[in-house]
Amino acid sequence: MSKHGSRSKAWHGPQKSQSLIFVTALVLIFVTLILLYSSNHKKPADSSFGLLKQKWNSFKSAAKFDPTIEFRNGTDMIWQIPDSPKAVLFLAHGCNGRAVNFWDRSSKCPKCIGLPEERLLVLHALSRKYAVLTISSAGRCWTLGKERLIVKDIIQWWVGRHKLEKLPLVALGASSGGNFVSALATSLRFSSITLMIAEGVFDHMDISEDYPPTLFVHMPKDSYRQQKIGEYLEVLRNKGIDVAEVECMEFPVSRNFLADRIPGFEQAVSDKLFKLFREKGFIDENGYMRNDGRATHWKEALLESKTIVLDKNLVHYVQEELNLAFAYHEMTSLQSEQIFKWFEAHMS
**What SS3 string covers 189-225?**
CCCEEEEECCCCCHHHCCCCCCCCCEEEEECCCCHHH
Position 55 in a domain: no
Position 22 in a domain: yes
Query: What local confidence, expressed as pLDDT, does residue 348 receive?
Result: 74
130 within 8 A of 86, measured Cβ to Cβ: yes
Position 52 in a domain: no
Domain that includes residue 317, residue range: 257-326
Q: Specify whether 212 is located in the same domain as 147.
A: yes
Q: Is the dihedral of CA 76, 346, 178, 152 positive or negative?
A: positive
Q: Specify whether 116 is located in the same domain as 163.
A: yes
Domain count, the chain: 3
Q: Specify whether 29 is located in the same domain as 106.
A: no
Query: What local confidence, expressed as pLDDT, does residue 19 receive?
Result: 55
Query: What local confidence, expressed as pLDDT, does residue 54 receive?
Result: 76
User: Each residue's pLDDT tens digit in the chain (348 positions)?
Assistant: 433 333 333 334 445 455 555 555 555 555 444 444 333 333 333 344 456 677 888 887 678 999 999 999 999 999 999 999 999 999 999 999 999 999 999 999 999 999 999 999 999 999 999 999 999 999 999 999 999 999 999 999 999 999 999 999 999 999 999 999 999 999 999 999 999 999 999 999 999 999 999 999 999 999 999 999 999 999 999 999 999 999 999 999 999 999 999 999 999 999 999 999 999 999 999 999 999 999 999 999 999 998 899 999 999 999 999 999 999 999 999 999 999 999 999 997
Question: What span, in angstroms and rounded, lies between the C-alpha atoms of 53 and 73?
Answer: 40
Position 309 in a domain: yes
Q: Specify whether 264 is located in the same domain as 238.
A: no
Q: Specify whether 191 is located in the same domain as 123.
A: yes
Position 56 in a domain: no
Give the H or E element holding residue 76: strand 75-80
Radius of gyration of the chain (CA): 26
Position 207 in a domain: yes
Question: What span, in angstroms and rounded, lies between the C-alpha atoms of 193 and 173?
Answer: 8
Q: Specify whether 75 is located in the same domain as 6.
A: no
Question: What span, in angstroms and rounded, lies between the C-alpha atoms of 246 and 13?
Answer: 55
The closest alpha carbon to 202, from 223, 225, 219, belongs to: 225
Question: What span, in angstroms and rounded, lies between the C-alpha atoms of 337 and 343?
Answer: 10
Domain holding 131: CATH number? 3.40.50.1820
Q: Specify whether 187 is located in the same domain as 277.
A: no
pTM: 0.85
Domain boundary among 229, 248, 267: 248
Question: What span, in angstroms and rounded, lies between the C-alpha atoms of 338 and 246?
Answer: 8
Query: What local confidence, expressed as pLDDT, does residue 129 receive?
Result: 97
Q: Specify whether 149 is located in the same domain as 233.
A: yes
254 within 8 A of 270, measured Cβ to Cβ: no
Torsion of CA 59, 60, 62, 68, to 10 degrees: 90
Position 48 in a domain: no
Position 59 in a domain: no
Query: What local confidence, expressed as pLDDT, does residue 1 receive?
Result: 42
Q: Specify whether 224 is located in the same domain as 77.
A: yes
DSSP 289: B
Q: Specify whether 198 is located in the same domain as 91.
A: yes
Domain boundary among 193, 225, 248: 248
Query: CA–CA distance from 50 to each of 44, 154, 334, 347 (Å)?
Result: 10, 38, 9, 27
Q: Specify whether 241 is located in the same domain as 267.
A: no
Q: Specify whether 26 is located in the same domain as 133.
A: no
